Amino acid sequence: MKKLILLLTVTTLSSSAMAAETIWLDSLKNLVGLGETQEQSAVEKLSSDGLVNMLTSGLGVNTEQASGGMGSLLNYVKNNVTSDQFSQLASSVPGVEGLVGQMPDLSKLGSSEGLGGLLDKASEYSDSLKSINDVKRQFEALGLKPEMITSFIASAQRYLDTEEGQQAKQVLTEGLAKLLG
């Protein structure tokens, strides 16, 4: 019995010492500026991967569709806000530039027929209509209906609806204002 009590005492003391050592080491890191701040851990929570994961689970799309569709929307934002604003968005949500690179290449697609063809023709005369038509066509190239554009936007806004994501959400919303009408 005495051996058991001694063993439990030694085990408890050694685990307490390890816990105290970890806390002490974290305190020392924070003291010299090497520890993770609350702001850093919050920023790490926002990422393009997190956004894509939310889109795939929430909208029932695959990873390629989520990445390409969001990339298309982010490219639209990039063309409709200042470079400083887009840089702010990109720094708030790491990986945004990578998503822009995931949007479908429209040069490989033919022109649309019917009403889509009329929009293609009208977009030749208006830069605003052209960029809206490009987003629509990119969604179609991904196998997504153009109606999904608003679902993607609403989901992205919800994803950024955190204290840390407010500025990024504002830039996103401002950049998409023409698209939303």
CA angle, 47 then 67 then 168, to 5°: 40
Say how far apart CA 77 and CA 2 lie, in whole Å. 71
Read off the pLDDT of residues 116-129 as tens digits, 9 standing for 90 and up.
Answer: 554 455 455 556 67
Tokens of 102: 């995931």
Say how far apart CA 17 and CA 20 lie, in whole Å. 5
pLDDT higher than threshold 80 for residue 108: no
Say how far apart CA 126 and CA 57 lie, in whole Å. 36
Query: CA distances (Å), 48 to each of 1, 144, 160, in order?
Result: 57, 20, 11
**What pTM was computed for the model?**
0.69
